[in-house]
């Protein structure tokens, strides 16, 4: 990982709160732009300034943090100060046209700058992290670079072994196809299944180098034809683009206009394609390195999460073999897919509150 030099205490812009950080206030709600190499990252700061500082790492690569204010904020913001960070090129952060800067290494450097900036601004000795999906791996990548600034970490439906992730979904879909082909069906349906089977076999035998199109087919195109949803156990809870745009209260909470929000998707596609067409990202495997982690970790996953593979949380928990059982947790959420913040928000928040309250602000690693 590249070392952070002159950017450690970057300038902050567009601060909308006029309160001094030394004053006691009941609730913080401010927007920051944090300078990082060749860009600026957006962070929405909300919550209790006296609580532990939690940095939220959204999924993707290419996601955004705005909707997490609604999904994860209630129940957390009264106890903690949360930094809803938009990663490089995402959400309200500056657009990134230089794809050479869209790498895991650069993102880790960015996060180190963000953490130092927020620790300095809010006078916190350490931060805690919570990362969802890609954000789950992102958090672990940061810990493997530097654990000294992190009090505790919650990995929510994250991954650490891309080989396991990719093959578990392919194998599950191939298994379903083989079961279907044993039943009677129309010739048209048989041809459809056999075509998907050939495509999955091709993808499985590839090196996942140009993976952007293939992974979207695996996660979005093929599952409906095979009778399941890779992301949701309860598909009635899916939040669509139109749902968000039609929710004026949510748009106001996130501080987005319709035009701004539509740009989020365009920016997301650039970031996601840059990562997904990079073989090193698609084949990233840090499972064996997790033994180096001594920071307390909570591993949380929906039992029906086919996106990362239903046994990925157990794999992560077992790989954290340098943590005693009282410093690591495993939570498998029943009847839940890849998005517990949507499908079982109350359960998720209860787990997060209980976990992070064990490691309060100002006490390194809860000691």
Whether 131 and 178 map to the same domain: the answer is no
Instruction: Give the CB-side neighbour count of residue 296, counting CA atoms within 13 A.
Output: 21
Whether 79 and 20 map to the same domain: the answer is yes
Q: Which long-range contacts (CB under 8 A, 24 or more apart) does 208-216 make?
A: 208/162, 208/166, 208/279, 208/282, 208/283, 209/277, 209/279, 209/282, 210/277, 211/276, 211/277, 211/282, 212/272, 212/273, 212/276, 212/277, 215/166, 215/276, 215/282
Q: Along the 367 residues of the chain, how does pLDDT read in single tens digits? A: 433 333 333 333 333 333 444 445 589 999 999 999 999 999 999 999 999 999 999 999 999 999 999 999 999 999 999 999 999 999 999 999 999 999 999 999 999 999 999 999 999 999 999 999 999 999 999 999 999 999 999 999 999 999 999 999 999 999 999 999 999 999 999 999 999 999 999 999 999 988 999 999 999 999 999 999 999 999 999 999 999 999 999 999 999 999 999 999 999 999 999 999 999 999 999 999 999 999 999 999 999 999 999 999 999 999 999 999 999 999 999 999 999 999 999 999 999 999 999 998 654 444 4
Whether 50 and 146 map to the same domain: the answer is yes
Whether 104 and 117 map to the same domain: the answer is yes
CA angle, 147 then 153 then 158, to 5°: 115
Domain span at residue 118? 12-161+281-366
Query: How many domains, in total, are found in the chain?
Result: 2
Q: Has residue 102 been placed in a domain?
A: yes
Q: State the CATH number of the domain containing residue 356.
A: 3.40.50.1820
Whether 299 and 212 map to the same domain: the answer is no
Q: What is the 3-state secondary structure (H, E, C) of 231-264?
A: CCCCHHHCCCHHHHHHCHHHHHHHCCCHHHHHHH
Whether 41 and 174 map to the same domain: the answer is no
Q: Has residue 120 been placed in a domain?
A: yes
Whether 128 and 171 map to the same domain: the answer is no
Q: Has residue 107 been placed in a domain?
A: yes
Q: Has residue 206 been placed in a domain?
A: yes
Which of 206, 230, 254 terminates a domain? The answer is: 230
Query: What does pTM read for this prediction?
Result: 0.91
Q: Has residue 320 been placed in a domain?
A: yes
């Amino acid at each position: 990982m590249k070392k952070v030099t002159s950017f450690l205490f970057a300038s902050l812009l567009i601060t909308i709160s006029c309160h001094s950080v030394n004053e006691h206030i009941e609730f913080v709600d401010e927007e920051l732009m944090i300078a990082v190499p060749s860009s600026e990252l957006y962070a929405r700061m909300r919550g209790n300034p006296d609580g532990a500082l939690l940095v939220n790492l959204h999924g993707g690569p290419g996601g955004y943090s705005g909707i997490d204010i609604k999904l994860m904020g209630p129940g957390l913001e009264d106890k903690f100060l949360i930094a809803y960070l938009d990663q490089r090129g995402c959400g309200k952060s500056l657009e990134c046209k230089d794809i050479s800067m869209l790498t895991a290494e650069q993102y880790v450097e960015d996060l180190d700058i963000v953490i130092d900036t927020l620790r300095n601004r809010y006078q916190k000795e350490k931060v805690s992290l919570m990362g969802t999906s890609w954000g789950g791996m992102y958090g672990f990548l940061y810990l493997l670079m530097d654990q000294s600034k992190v009090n505790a970490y919650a990995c929510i439906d994250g991954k650490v072994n891309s080989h396991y992730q990719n093959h578990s979904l392919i194998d599950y879909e191939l298994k379903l196809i083989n079961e279907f082909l044993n039943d009677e069906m129309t010739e048209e349906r048989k041809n459809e299944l056999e075509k998907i089977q050939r495509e999955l076999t091709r993808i499985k035998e590839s090196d996942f180098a140009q993976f952007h199109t293939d992974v979207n087919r695996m996660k979005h195109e093929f599952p409906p034809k095979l009778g399941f949803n890779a992301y949701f156990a309860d598909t009635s809870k899916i939040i669509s683009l139109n749902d968000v745009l039609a929710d004026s209260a949510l748009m106001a909470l996130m501080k987005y206009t319709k035009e701004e929000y539509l740009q989020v998707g365009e920016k997301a596609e650039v970031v996601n394609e840059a990562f997904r067409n990079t073989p090193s990202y698609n084949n990233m495997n840090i499972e064996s390195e997790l033994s180096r982690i001594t920071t307390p970790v909570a591993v949380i996953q929906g039992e029906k999460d086919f996106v990362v593979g239903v046994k990925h949380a157990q794999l992560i928990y077992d790989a954290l073999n340098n943590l005693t059982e009282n410093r690591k947790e495993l939570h498998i959420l029943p009847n839940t897919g890849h998005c517990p913040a949507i499908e079982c928000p109350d359960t998720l928040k209860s787990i997060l509150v209980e976990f992070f309250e064990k490691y309060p602000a100002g006490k390194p690693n809860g000691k």
